[in-house]
Amino acid sequence: MNDAAPSRPLAIEAASAPKRAKPSNYPDPFASRMARREKHPLGDIFGLRNFGVNLTRLLPGGESALLHRHSRQDEFVYILEGKPTLVTDEGEVALAPGMCAGFPAGGVAHHLVNRSDRDVVYLEIGDRSPGDEGSYPADDLVARLSPDGRWVFARKDGQPY
Interface residues with a second copy (CB under 8 A) are 1-2, 5, 10-15, 42-43, 45-51, 53, 73-74, 76, 78, 86, 88, 90-91, 93, 95, 98-108, 123, 125, 127, 129
Phi, psi of 33 (to 5 degrees): -70, -10
CB of 32 to a second copy, least distance (A): 28
The sign of the CA dihedral 102, 49, 16, 24 is: negative
Q: Of the two residues 99 and 152, which places its CB atom closer to a second copy in the complex? A: 99
Q: Of the two residues 48 and 138, which places its CB atom closer to a second copy in the complex? A: 48
d(CA 40, CA 14): 8
Give 128's contacts (C-beta < 8 A, 6+ positions apart).
49, 50, 51, 52, 73, 149
Q: Of the two residues 2 and 159, which places its CB atom closer to a second copy in the complex? A: 2
Q: Which residue, 46, 45, 52, is CA-closest to 77?
A: 52
CB of 62 to a second copy, least distance (A): 18
Phi, psi of 135 (to 5 degrees): -120, 145
Q: Of the two residues 91 and 149, which places its CB atom closer to a second copy in the complex? A: 91
CB of 147 to a second copy, least distance (A): 18
CB of 133 to a second copy, least distance (A): 15
